[in-house]
Chain A
């Protein structure tokens, strides 16, 4: 099972919106509405930001939203803030053989 494809980096100015894509295949992203997104600061553990494509856990800002079309899921951060500068990873359920596959990660930079 190959890692999901994400852009290496995305940047934006404060207040702007950015979108991170996560491309898989018909065996993972395209097969299940079970994509989740994680935020990770350097030296820290990942934190769940979005689950089941678009759902937000309690406490996560409404500025974070998720969508999916075909084999590609996307995370949008609106009203970009300095605190959003971090690494972001998508993850998809991929069936019984290899249940979970992560994306390669995207570094978000706030200009």
Chain B
């Protein structure tokens, strides 16, 4: 089972851009898997943000689609999330996760990275 680890700045200013990376180990980014981002505001539930396949295909949450870009770096075995024009409502723990192509459940998760939007 792949191992996932998020990294990135823990503090982002309002109107700025949130950028996170998820390193994939014990497996390859080119596996037949969808690489996913899920977030959880403090004290609240989980929200699916979007996913990317290593060939570049993406699916985004329509509520965030205008502000999201996901990418894959096969040379580094990691994938990334960029969220623009952030506000305090984007403060959350951001998890990377994965599911196998053709399956629809998340069987590996990163430990999560708290990102706070504040000036």
Contact = CB atoms under 8 A, between A and B. Distances in A.
B105 A48 contact: yes
Interface residues of B, number: 21
B105 A91 contact: yes
A72 interface: no
A46 interface: yes
Contact of B45 (A3, A96, A97): A3
Contacts of A1: 62
A91 B51 CA distance: 15
Main secondary structure of the interface of A (DSSP, over half): loop
Interface string A67-101: 00000000000000000000001010100111111
Given A36-B105, A36-B106, A97-B62, A102 B95 contact: no
B104 A103 contact: no
Given A3-B45, A104-B45, 18 more contacts: A1-B62, A32-B104, A34-B104, A34-B105, A45-B109, A45-B111, A46-B46, A46-B95, A48-B105, A48-B106, A91-B48, A91-B105, A97-B62, A98-B48, A100-B48, A101-B48, A105-B45, A105-B46
29 contacts: A1-B62, A3-B45, A34-B104, A36-B104, A38-B46, A45-B109, A45-B110, A46-B38, A46-B46, A46-B106, A46-B109, A48-B105, A48-B106, A51-B103, A51-B105, A51-B107, A89-B45, A91-B106, A99-B51, A100-B48, A100-B104, A101-B48, A102-B46, A102-B47, A102-B48, A103-B45, A105-B44, A105-B45, A105-B46
